[in-house]
């Protein structure tokens, strides 16, 4: 997606509101959780205002920030704005970012130690460059932190262009893509594999590893 | 929310009907379960009539009571009206109350003894004054009772302004907030954490504690 | 509900179509499963035609039978029509019957032997005459059979006016009420308690009893 | 269904879009997973274009192929087009094919070895010629492969007219029928029985067989 095709604020707000309705319908937006953003044509960022229900967003629930995360209007962005600007700075092809909460992501990151390995799923082909199920990916899991400096420093050490998702323990996950529909597909695909992993863990029984 | 901005009955009925549709879509309003109310501008209370499906409320399914819970019209309010008036009397900032039933709340309160501790969730920040996941809350769990005098006396001993929710064993939970949307967010957030706890209990296996 | 207020076919068809949409949305109408009926003002019965998806019923998917279950038009009613006419003959207050399939009902009746005891739920108050959670009901579970003579003979021995529901093993459940909305509430309430029981069984672990 | 009643492309596209919305609502179409097709009146095949979200299909997301799977327009069909043309060639009565992904199908095929036996369900009557629950079916489970020559050769050895479904391990399942609504019913019915099997496996506990 070239700069010429990046959205203006009005179009980005539409895309973000649509994403919110779809994610809420799939149980990835409980209460006011999550935050969503898009890179705009003018280099600024459109981001959801803090504390709004993502399934019922209005246009004025989306605000603009500059590329360093400084608000350009008198509204409060998500406390996690720095995690969004980090992704935009690192990956020029990232134009839309979704951070969502889900039961499966919280339960799995709480039950398991270390990063999360997903192996053998046909659905792995959702990730860029993966063309077969005969592979695995290791999705970084970061310990939750309220200090974004701490959290973004951990994130910086592990995220790569090849795998545009990461998990935060007890919290949820991030996904980014060249446009908002594709970011939504990543969320649906990852959540689906997390739900599979959670079901497998329940079948296996026993205490958490 | 000042008295000036409290709703009249017509507006409260709209808010209550909307809350019902949203909670039903998220499986927190099976059959005719639950009861919802709002504090009105004139000091009265708008409350759902007993025995109606909360996902399909009509305006005439909402009635008025005075602050002591006495019906002001010839309809039957929920048997639990006294639990609503108790909250309004104790907490001036409470203007909307939702009582819902959910599978997770019943199963957890049946499987576990004592109150329910929720710890380490990012979602805990939904509660007033909580700004970090590095904390825990102890949500009161009251044994169910049909005698509201008994139940409200138990409730009085434990509820606080700091934690606007409580659970009733084998039954469901209450949540209250300055307005109806925020009360709905509390329901979604608490239900989400209850679902996480239930999944963790299934992973852990073994017999209920 | 007096005879005067019983519906004609057009009204019954509306009620049945609405019930189908609601039950499908709550996962109680997979594929073409289930069958629904209502007692009409003229003493006949309106019933869903065999093999239709209950979440997407059209008016011509509902046909009429006489009180003995004989089709009054050239369409094929459900093979279980005899179970409906049995209920209408036994219970004059029954004017609407819903037979639904659900995952919880099949899994529970397969995992457990004998009838199903539900105890201690606030939701038990959905059943006629029950005013407290401090009770239990024993819901009959009948072994599935394709011969309706066999099945209805078993049913006749156990069903009572006091408890307007029964389960069929590996199959689903029946619920009846004075009107269609109330029959739907019974389905939602029973399914909710079945889901609670299933979750409790998974927490308890071990092999099926 | 005679050739005269087979759809043209416009009608097939409508049927495919409707199927996608319904399957997505029932969690059988996460992200861009799955592929759907119909046999057209002119002997060609209408099939979903690769990489589209099946719950939000537009008419131009459906393309035409000839009976050998060669695209008749400049779009990319699903990589699994050969599995569709195989079914159309083997079974003249198959006019609509749905391939879907679901959590239950992936978890079950991962947890269990060999083919999947479904026994005793009333819902088994969804399969052609089955008139009683007192039976069982053995649904073929094929190991996933990216080489469609390999996969279709395995499929050819086991699929029969009598059982119009098969599972692919770690991936999902196929279902086909004389028209699109019936293909959808097969998906709902199979998914329902897979969910029952998964719940039974969790009750049984222990490690996967």
Integer Rg of chain C from CA: 17
What pLDDT is attached to residue A3? Answer: 58
Tell me what pLDDT residue B79 has. 85
Please provide the average confidence, as pLDDT, over all residues in chain C.
95
Contacts of C53 in chain D (CB under 8 A): 181, 185
N residues, chain A: 209
Comparing CA positions, the residue from A125, A98, A120, A102 lying closest to residue A194 is A102
Distance, CA of C12 to CA of C187 (rounded, Å)? 18
Contact B185 A32 (CB under 8 A): yes
Q: Which residues contact B166 (CB under 8 A, 6 or more apart)?
A: B139, B140, B141, B142, B155, B158, B159, B173, B174
- Specify whether the CB–CB gap between A48 and A81 falls below 8 A: no
Which chains touch C (3+ CB pairs under 8 A)? B, D
Interface with chain A: mutation pick from D23, D28, D30, highest number of A CBs within 10 Å: D30
Instruction: Supply φ then ψ for residue D50, to 5 degrees.
Output: -60, 140
Nearest CA distance, A195 vs chain D (angstrom): 7
Q: Counting runs of H as helices and runs of E as strands, what totals does chain A give?
A: 5, 9
Search chain A and give the residue with CA nearest B185.
Answer: A31
Residue-by-residue pLDDT tens, chain D, 209 positions: 555 699 999 999 999 999 999 999 999 999 999 999 999 999 999 999 999 999 999 999 999 999 999 999 999 998 899 999 999 999 999 999 999 999 999 999 999 989 999 999 999 999 999 999 999 999 999 999 999 999 999 999 999 999 999 999 999 999 999 999 999 999 999 999 999 999 999 987 643 33
Q: Note whether D30 contacts A123, CB cutoff 8 Å.
A: yes
- pLDDT computed for residue B2 by the predictor: 57
- Nearest chain D CA: its distance from A86 CA (Å): 25
Distance CA D149, CA D142 (A): 13
Cβ of residue C201 closer than 8 Å to a chain B Cβ = no
Residues 83-142 of A with CB under 8 A from D: 120-123, 126, 131-134
Alpha-carbon distance values, D201 to C198, C208, D193 (Å):
12, 10, 12
pLDDT (0 to 100) of residue D208:
37
Look at residue A79 in the predicted model and tell me its pLDDT. 85
Shortest distance between the Cα of A193 and any Cα of chain D, in A, equals 8
Instruction: Report the phi/psi class of residue D172: left, alpha or beta, with left for phi > 0 and alpha for psi in -120 to 50.
Output: left
| Interface contact B31, partner C, CB < 8 A | yes
Contact C107 D200 (CB under 8 A): yes
C172 touches chain D (CB under 8 A): yes
- In chain A, residues with a C-beta closer than 8 Å to the C-beta of B196 are 103, 106-107, 110
Residue from D155, D175, D144 nearest A122 by CA: D144
Residue C6's pLDDT is 97
In percent, the amount of chain C with pLDDT more than 90 equals 92
Chains that touch A (3 or more CB pairs under 8 A): B, D
Structure tokens, B169: 């064993």
pLDDT digits (tens, 9 = 90+) for C52-102: 999 999 999 999 999 999 999 999 998 899 999 999 999 999 999 999 999
Beta bridge partners of residue C46, listed in sequence order: C38, C64
Q: Of the candidates C90, C107, C87, C116, which has an alpha carbon nearest to the alpha carbon of residue C99?
A: C87
Picking from C102, A203, C195, the residue whose alpha carbon sits closest to that of residue B195 is: C195
Interchain contact, A168 vs B204, CB within 8 Å: no
- pLDDT greater than 80 at residue C1: no
Q: What is the predicted pLDDT for the residue at B208?
A: 37
What's C152-200 look like in SS3? Answer: HHHHHHHCECCECEEEECCCEEEEEECCHHHHHHHHHHHHHHHHHHHHH
Distances (CA, A) of D161 to B17, B187, D47, D178: 51, 50, 22, 12
The Cα D124–Cα D120 span in angstroms is 8
Helix axes B180-204, B9-25, angle to 10 degrees: 20
So what's the pLDDT on residue A199? 97
**CA distance readout (Å), D24 to A29, A192, D29, D102:** 18, 13, 5, 10
CB contact under 8 A, B101 and C192: yes
Which of A77, A70, A11 is closest to A41 using CA atoms?
A11
C174 touches C87 (CB < 8 A): yes
Q: What is the pLDDT of residue C130?
A: 96
DSSP conformation letters of C88-148? HHH-TT--EEEEE--HHHHHHHHHS-S-EEEES-GGGGGSTT---SS-EEEE-EEPP-S-H
> Cβ–Cβ of C31/D195 closer than 8 Å?
no
Residues in D closer than 8 angstroms to A120, CB to CB, are 110, 144, 170
Digit-coded pLDDT (tens) for A118-144: 999 999 999 999 999 999 999 999 999
Question: Is the backbone of residue A198 left (phi > 0), alpha (psi -120 to 50) or beta?
Answer: alpha
Q: What is the pLDDT along chain B (209 residues), one digit of tens a residue?
A: 455 699 999 999 999 999 999 999 999 999 999 999 999 999 999 999 999 999 999 999 999 999 999 999 999 998 899 999 999 999 999 999 999 999 999 999 999 989 999 999 999 999 999 999 999 999 999 999 999 999 999 999 999 999 999 999 999 999 999 999 999 999 999 999 999 999 999 987 643 33
Contact pairs from chain A to chain B, CB under 8 Å = 69
From C103, C146, C206, residue closest to D131, measured CB to CB:
C146
CA distances from D77 to B169, C4, D50, D63 (A): 54, 60, 5, 7
The average pLDDT across A183-205 equals 94
Encode pLDDT of C192-202 as tens digits: 999 999 999 99
Chain A CA closest to residue D26 = A26
Helices D180-204 and A180-204: angle between axes, nearest 10 degrees:
40
Q: What's the CA gap between C62 and C75, in Å, rounded? A: 9
Set of chain A residues whose Cβ sits within 8 Å of the Cβ of D198: 199
Q: What is the mean pLDDT of residues C156-179?
A: 97
- Confidence band for C205, pLDDT divided at 50, 70 and 90: low
Beta bridge partners of C176: C97
Distances (CA, A) of A69 to A84, A95, C115, D196: 8, 15, 62, 48
Tokens, residue D65:
């192929």
Best residue in D24, D31, D53 for a mutation probing chain A (most A CBs within 10 Å): D31
How many angstroms separate the CA atoms of C164 and C128, rounded? Answer: 8
Please name the residue ranges forming H helices in B42-102.
Answer: 81-90
- Supply the pLDDT for residue A208: 37
Dist CA C199 CA C186 (whole Å): 20
Average pLDDT, chain A: 95
Give the C-alpha separation, B107 to B125, whole Å.
Answer: 24
Which of D120, D142, D143 is closest to D133 using CA atoms?
A: D120
- Report CB contact under 8 Å: A133, D146: yes
**Band of pLDDT at residue A2, cut at 50, 70 and 90:** low
Q: Which residues of chain D are within 8 Å of residue A186 when distances are taken between CB atoms?
A: 31
Best of B150, B168, B170, B201 to substitute, by most chain C Cβ atoms within 10 angstroms, is B170
Distance between D202 CA and the closest CA of chain A, angstroms = 5
């Amino acid at each position: 997606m070239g700069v010429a095709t990046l959205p203006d604020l009005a179009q980005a707000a539409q895309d973000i509101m649509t994403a919110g309705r779809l994610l809420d319908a799939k149980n990835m937006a409980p209460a006011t959780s999550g935050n969503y953003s898009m890179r705009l044509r003018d280099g600024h960022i459109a981001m959801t205002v803090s504390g709004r229900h993502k399934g019922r967003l209005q246009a004025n629930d989306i605000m603009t920030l500059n590329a360093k995360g400084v608000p350009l209007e008198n509204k409060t962005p998500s406390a996690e704005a720095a995690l969004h600007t980090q992704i935009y700075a690192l990956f020029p092809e990232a134009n839309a970012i979704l951070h969502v909460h889900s039961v499966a992501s919280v339960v799995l990151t709480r039950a398991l130690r270390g990063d999360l390995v997903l192996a053998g799923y046909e659905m792995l082909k959702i990730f860029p460059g993966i063309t077969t199920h005969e592979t695995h990916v290791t999705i970084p899991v970061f310990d939750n932190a309220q200090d974004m400096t701490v959290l973004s420093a951990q994130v910086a050490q592990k995220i790569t262009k090849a795998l545009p998702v990461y998990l935060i323990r007890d919290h949820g996950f991030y996904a980014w893509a060249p446009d908002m529909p594709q970011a939504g597909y990543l969320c649906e695909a990852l959540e689906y594999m997390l739900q599979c992993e959670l079901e497998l863990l329940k079948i296996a029984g026993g205490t958490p590893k």
